[in-house]
Structure 1
Amino acid sequence: MVKQLPPRSEVATEETWNLKDLFETEEQFDEALKAVKEQAETFASEFKGKITDASSAVKALSSYINIREQLVPIGTYASLASSTDQTDTNAQLRSARVGATGAQIGSRLSFLQSELLELSEESLQQAAEQSAEHAHYLEELIRWKPHQLHAEAETVLAAFSSVFNAPYELYNTTKLVDMSFEDFTVDGQDYPLSYIAFEGDWEGESDTKIRRAAFDAFSAKLEDYQHTTAKTYDAHLQAEKTTSDLRGFDTIFDYLLFDQEVDRDLYNRQIDLIMTELAPHMRKYAKLLQKAHGLDKMTFADLKISLDPSYEPSITVEESKKYMHDALKIMGDEYLQMVDRSYTERWIDFPQNKGKSTGAFCSSPYGYHPYILISWTGRMNEVFVLAHELGHAGHFFFANREQNILNARPSLYFIEAPSTMNEMLMANHLLENSSDPKFKRWVISSIVARTYYHNFVTHLLEAAYQRKVYERIDDGHSVNADALNRLKHDVLKEFWGEDVELTKGAELTWMRQPHYYMGLYPYTYSAGLTISTQVAKRVLNEGQPAVDEWLEVLKAGGTKTPVELAKMAGVDITTEQPLRDTIAYIGELIDELETLTEEIERQ
């Protein structure tokens, strides 16, 4: 049963993050918010209608960067304070105020991109030559130029931005507000059910009867809302299709991949190879789970169980410091100093408390240190979660320092590579420092079940389904619940074959993820992990030269394409080899799990 969480006011301060590094007092925050509004007004007065050549473009961009930098701590402070306690009325009001002010400032400054894009390509190239600092941003504008509409049309589209975002808000309202779960009953005992309880606890419950009953009850509630959710998703899809057509893209895929700076070949390969070549390995893993748990059959409701639920090492926050230090020291002194500072300077928020956001994330405000949110339960698997978030922190720690605010963020295709890289380093460290077969099996099963299953299976199956949906929309069709259920069922069946029974409710899995409202996001998880798996091997085999190259990749931020960044790290993602090698590595891990399981059973 879920324990009662304390209010935020009762948690240990030393285990919370220190937001005073952003603003010491509420008065400082208010003053900064007022000042940046005035800066935006001054900027508009000085530059609106006056960006006419390369020189004025460079001058405007320099001033604009300053405003963007001033907005960073304001938005971060409001967001982070809200995320640790959503019951805090003051934090919610502050967040709403920042959101409204940000929209006003964004509207006031929206002329900048339109006026820059009204300049000739020659003028933009001259501006890039005059200012190396702005060259990359201007080159991206030139690339976008064929898809820019007239200024009036862009203004109208910007004005409708909240309407275009409405499907995502409606999805969340349906999922998190309207959808209310009743308790489910097993052998006369009632168990509480909610989205968080199912995905955080019941989905991995070791008692088969309870786990499958929870899945049935959860699926029954999803089914009640399938038609509303499908209609909401279709509205989002039609808006994307209309925008794609208006901007002159041939397909929705071309429109959504444009910002990621990758082509259809990379996108399709990631899905096709995993669907065909990883599937046999994961079916083998499913059979291993079935055997270990003595299941009568392997169903979709059983796929998230632990290989050995009786073995779960525990760890304290204090003990985690040594694990992070020892596992990541291979990255060098400067990286390690960043890791150590995250503890000593309170960059990490550990406590569980009422109103705190679920999951884990890393926020990396430009010009400041990163902040990491995690709800520490004391389970050993959280060393992987924390190593992952420190990977994001390390990435932007270096990128923000080396690049300006317009150049720091890389393509979405690459964003998960530095984080999953750290998970690989942590796993290697744990395996190297234990001879206990049970612990080794726990480490490897954590990699397979958490790192690879999550990124290479859960999100990849989302991507394969999403591709079928977009193909349907590109052909001029709409979608409804029946169509989405059929498409999802077919993708799951193709991957799991006859080895996993798709119990009723598996087809409704499309209702559970918000990723479908975020463009072509799901496939990027496996893309990032493909890169990081290969780089981790290089680091472990070659040492310092590979580390130095990886640090240069982190520092490059968004100034290179994903193909260029991977190439800097010694990985050629224009070929199938890195992905094939990664799939083979997953297969080797599953083979090793079988061997260790047999060894443990003989003891």
Structure 2
Amino acid sequence: MSAIPRSKVKLEETWNLNDLFASETDYEARLDEIREDVRTFSAKYKGNVTDAASALSALKEYAAIYEKIIPAGTYVNLLQSEDQTNSDHQMRGAAFGSLMAKSSAEMSFFESELSQLPEEELKQAMEQSEEFRIYLRDILRFKPHKLHPEVEKVLAAFSSVLDAPYELYNVTKLVDMDFPDFEAGGEQFPNSYNLFEGTWETDPDTEKRRAAYKAFYEKLADYQHTTAKTYDTHLQTEKTTSDLRGFDTVFDYLLFNQEVDRELYDRQIDLIMKELAPHMRRYAKLLQNVHGIDRMTFADLKVPLDPSYEPKITIEESKKYIFEALSVMGDDYYEMLKRSYDERWTDFAQNKGKSTGAFCSSPYGVHPYILISWSGSMEDVFVLAHELGHAGHFYNANREQGVFNARPSLYFIEAPSTMNEMLMANHLLKNSDDPRFKRWVIASIVARTYYHNFVTHLLEAAYQRKVYERIDAGQSVNAGVLNELKRGVLEEFWGSDVTIEEGAELTWMRQPHYYMGLYPYTYSAGLTISTQVSKRILDEGESAVNDWLEVLRAGGTKSPVELAQMAGVDITTDAPLRDTIAHIGNLIDQLEKLTEEISANTEA
């Protein structure tokens, strides 16, 4: 079970990066093209973006350069993600980062010259080009925060340095940390990031689960001060950038590109912390009773409600669930799902150095790529459905929109992914009346979809907000401060129903999202939208599906509020969120009743 080297994994369990570049020679040739295109662009347009016509002419060539950069950047990032221990991948990534910093600096004049154009020229260009309307609108929006062109050039030149904390975090986490074996029941078991998060954290054996937890967090503790300093460097960079650009707070700076105001952000955190907590404490109590656990601890929260019923699923068997559950999305979507398997879009392998968790990368002009470490549980099917939701989103948006219009606000990004988890659960529930099966499905959606997005990520968001409040007040953070903040959030949410034992406060070390702005809260925001839309699909069928497909195709041409409205959800009020919290409470009600029914039938 220990992680094997990347060289030992089966080819069929890996993604096919040849669709990006057939060879390293092709990749290097692309870099040469980018260098030449950037030089040509700079020579042609620097000092010459003077009106709507020249702006649109330059934008066409600017977009063409980005369409060449995106596959190259994706290639580099995916190679690093599949094996962080590979020194060639590390060096390739560093070289690409340097090239992008140099290229960004050389082309930084363009956005500066655009922002210096008279407002009427920018508006005229917007009227003349639907393709670049959103891009130009954003130039106008950001105009008050644009710095002197030479300052922008310097910042662009330092981009790889400014991004270094995230790279340092990954190297510390995935290369330097070597987890020792742990002992339980007289046996030795291997441990790693992927093994802990994919296997041990949900192991039904309480002794083994807690022993793995103890060993895992003891190793994290060895690196807490380095990781905290790395994070503080990232935070101070964001604060300095926010101040330089004239934002009142870091929150305003980070929410600006999301096109979301502070009210929507705070509401998501405050309501869930207050109103979801009582439901999840009931769920924790249910787990405790079913498993006969003496006291519920943080290490026990992810144990399955009915682990003996958990089916093992092979990669091949996952096709049946994925195809049947998501075919409601139509023939074109089904074809995309089929292609994802046939053309090896997904990296399923478990190997040493592989990035933890799962993600979908959707390079413009190429098909999406998915990373997952397949352990064979039904949870993996839900995770795969989630990532295929991202894939389906950009499969549609990238075909319908230009390179600058395809990506929506971060606030909306998790709605299509969590939608697929809803569709998976609805499909499974529809196909059985067996109480134990129904309980297993509902428990899966509570433990995986809602726990992960409405609890794990939301608690990260609540903690992250406290961190940024310190940074806005001119303070810094270290390991002690971060541990205290994280423990406080966990204790506030779980109350006296769950013991937050030693080590839990280090959970902040596990999440790369902290290096991606105000990302964690968007999971619950997206799931709020997808919960409401999945109810529409159950009630209305094809018309609701068609509305949703239109939303996917719209990409980034609408704000989050507008996209939600297209799908029939009004996120300007708290009604969708309150209804979703009530829905989670109802699911836990059903789990309690089904457990009583199953227990009574067993005793009879």
The normalised TM-score by structure 1 is: 0.94
Work out the CA distance in 2 between the residues paired with 1:590 and 1:43.
58
Q: CA deviation at 1:306?
A: 1.2
Correspondence for 1:253: 251
The 3 A distance-change label for structure 1 pair 282 and 161 is same
CA distance in 1, matches of 2:69, 2:118: 30
**Aligned pairs for 1:192-211 within 5 A:** 192-211=190-209
Distance verdict in 2 for CA 1:100–1:472, change over 3 Å: closer
Q: Distance in 1 between matches of 2:27 and 2:176?
A: 35
Q: Quote the Cα distance in structure 2 between the aligned partners of 1:349 and 1:180.
A: 23
In 2: Cα distance, 1:162 partner to 1:10 partner: 32
Q: Which amino acid aligns with 2:575?
A: Q
Deviates more, 1:481-490 or 1:17-26: 17-26
Contact 2:174 2:353 (8 Å CA) reproduced: no
Q: What amino acid sits opposite 2:10 in the alignment?
A: V
The match for 2:524 among 506, 516, 526 is 526
Distance (whole Å) between structure 1 residues aligned to residue 18 and residue 369 of structure 2: 12
- Cα–Cα, structure 1 residues 179 and 95, in superposed 2: closer, same or farther, change >3 Å? closer
Written as runs of structure 1 = structure 2, the 5 A alignment for 1:337-486 is 337-353=335-351, 356-486=354-484
Deviation at 1:355, TM superposition (A): 5.1
Which residue, 546, 551, 560 being the options, matches 2:549? Answer: 551
Separation (CA, whole Å) in 2 of partners of 1:82 and 1:123: 43
Residues 205-284 of structure 1 mapped to structure 2, 5 A cutoff: 205-284=203-282
Q: Does 1:11 align with 2:28?
A: no
532-541 or 161-170: bigger deviation: 161-170
Report which stretch shifted further, 176-185 or 546-555: 176-185
User: 1:584 maps to which residue?
Assistant: 582
Task: Point out where structure 2 has 5 or more consecutive residues left out of the alignment.
Answer: none
Q: Is the 8 A contact 2:194 2:357 kept in 1?
A: no
How much has 1:302 moved relative to structure 2?
1.0
The 3-state SS of whatever aligns with 1:413 is: helix
CA separation in 2, counterparts of 1:505 and 1:279? 21
Give the equivalent residue in structure 1 for 2:287: 289
**1:222 CA displacement:** 3.2
The alpha carbon displacement at 1:10 in A equals 5.7
Candidates 100, 104, 107, aligned match of 1:109? 107
User: Does 404-413 or 76-85 show the bigger shift?
Assistant: 76-85
Cα distance in 1 between the residues matched to 2:548 and 2:148: 42
Q: Distance in 2 between matches of 1:90 and 1:469?
A: 35
Q: Hey, what's the Cα distance between the residues in 1 that align with 2:81 and 2:496?
A: 43
Distance across 2 between alignment mates of 1:168 and 1:6: 24
Quote how far apart the aligned CAs of 1:360 are.
Answer: 2.5
**Quick one: which of 54, 57, 60 aligns to 1:56?**
54
> Who is 1:506 aligned against?
504
TM-superposed CA distance for 1:203, in Å, is 2.1
Measure the CA separation in 2 of the matches of 1:532 and 1:362. 18
Matched-pair contact (CA < 8 Å) for 1:11–1:353? no
Quickly say closer, same or farther: Cα 1:280–1:247, change in 2 above 3 A.
same
The amino acid of 2:565's aligned partner reads K
Q: CA deviation at 1:496?
A: 0.7
**2:557 corresponds to which letter in structure 1?**
T
CA offsets 1:398-448 (integer angstroms, 9 cap, x no match): 111111001110111100100110110011111111233222222111111
Distance 1:299 1:69, change over 3 A: same
Between the aligned partners of 1:425 and 1:226, the Cα distance in structure 2 is: 39
The residue that corresponds to 2:163 in the other structure is 165
- Select the residue among 299, 302, 316 that pairs with 1:301: 299
Partner of 2:149: 151
Contact 1:8 1:354 in 2 (8 A): no
Q: How far apart, CA to CA, are the structure 2 residues paired with 1:499 and 1:10? A: 43
Does the 8 Å contact 1:8/1:85 carry over to 2?
A: no
Give, in angstroms, the shift of residue 238 of structure 1: 2.2
CA contact (8 A) 2:175 2:353 kept: no
Deviation at 1:319, TM superposition (A): 2.7
How far did residue 91 of structure 1 move?
5.2
**Alignment-derived partner of residue 563 in structure 2:** 565
CA distance in 2, matches of 1:344, 1:224: 43
Shift in Å at residue 369 of structure 1? 1.8
Match of 1:175? 173
Give unpaired runs (5+ residues) of structure 1. Answer: none
Q: CA deviation at 1:505?
A: 2.1
Question: How far is 1:85 from its partner?
Answer: 4.8
What does the per-residue CA deviation read over 1:457-482, in whole Å, with 9 as the maximum and x for residues that have no partner? 01111111111121222222223333
SS at match of 1:58: helix
Alignment CA distance shift 1:466-1:108 (3 Å):
same
Letter in 1 for 2:276: L
Residue of structure 1 aligned with 2:592, choices 584, 591, 594: 594
Does the C-alpha gap of structure 1 residues 82 and 590 become closer, same or farther in structure 2, counting only changes over 3 Å? same
Q: In structure 1, how many angstroms separate the alpha carbons of the residues matched to 2:349 and 2:234?
A: 36
**Given residue 295 of structure 1, which amino acid in structure 2 is its aligned partner?**
I
Question: Do the aligned partners of residues 476 and 346 (structure 1) sit closer, same or farther apart at CA in structure 2, a change above 3 Å counting?
Answer: closer
Q: Given residue 292 of structure 2, which amino acid in structure 1 is its aligned partner?
A: G
Alpha-carbon contact 2:326-2:334 (below 8 Å) kept: yes
Residues 346 and 123 (structure 1), Cα distance of their counterparts in 2 relative to 1, 3 Å cut: same
Matched residues in 2 for 1:26 and 1:158: separation?
27
Q: 1:286: how far off?
A: 0.2
Alignment partner, residue 320 of structure 1:
318
Q: Distance in 2 between matches of 1:172 and 1:548?
A: 40
Q: Which amino acid aligns with 1:511?
A: M
Cα distance per residue 1:225-253 (max 9 Å; x no partner): 43333333323222222221111111111
Letter of the structure 2 residue corresponding to residue 426 of structure 1:
M
Q: Percent identity?
A: 69
Distance apart, 1:12 and its partner CA: 4.3
1:318-352 C-alpha deviation (Å, 9 max, x unpaired): 33222222211211222222222222333333344
Letter in 2 for 1:336: Y
Aligned equivalents of 1:158 and 1:120: distance in 2? 24
Count of equivalent residues:
601
Q: Secondary structure at the match of 2:360?
A: strand
Write the distance in 2 (CA, Å) between the matches of 1:471 and 1:94.
Answer: 37
Q: Supply the distance in 1 between the matched residues of 2:37 and 2:552 (Cα, whole angstroms).
A: 32
